[in-house]
Amino acid sequence: MKALIFALALTTVASAAAAQTPPAAASLPPAPAPSYGPPIGLEAAQGLIDRAIAYGATKGWRLAVAIVEPSGELVAFARMDDTQYGSIHVAQRKAETAARYRLPTAVMEERVQAGRIVSLSNAEALTIGGGVPIVAGERIIGAIGVSGATAAQDAEAALAALAGG
């Protein structure tokens, strides 16, 4: 008899707890990212590198700059004199991540800082600002990755290059 009462009490408590659990909030799907287009050419890639380096020089930053095609494969790369060697790899990884995930790496960094740490479990993604997709005609044709200053400054240099100065 005690076992029956205990079972009924447990069922009642479980039912009450389930009734108090609010339903999961429906979330809207994110807006679709632009489609991939034909890869950026070498001349355009070199122009972006030149603009990013020129911008960094005006700020006193020593930058490494990588341009990749939509697949994340390297198209062009340059580094300023005395740039830390670690920035070579980081610039390329930022560009790869921005191209492959169709998203600025600064957005990914903000999401991690806001608590969405699941991105950190993906060894293929570098969630540090400074990688930005290159969009032409509403299609991603590559990405730029900049490293050597702070993440915010790297992103600033990448955006300045894309803006034309």
Buried b (16+ CB within 10 A) or exposed e, 131-150: bbbbbeeeebbbbbbbbbbe
For the stretch 98-117, pLDDT in tens is: 999 999 999 999 999 999 98
pLDDT single digits (tens) 70-83: 999 999 999 999 99
pLDDT confidence of residue 28: 59
CA 71 to chain CA mean position, Å: 15
Reference 149, options 58, 76, 44; nearest CA is 58
Per-residue pLDDT at 165: 61
Tokens of 111: 């999401």
Model-level pTM? 0.80
Return d(Cα 123, Cα 148) in angstroms, integer. 21
Residues in contact with 61: Cβ distance below 8 Å, sequence separation at least 6, in sequence order: 80, 148, 149, 153, 157
Average pLDDT, the chain: 86
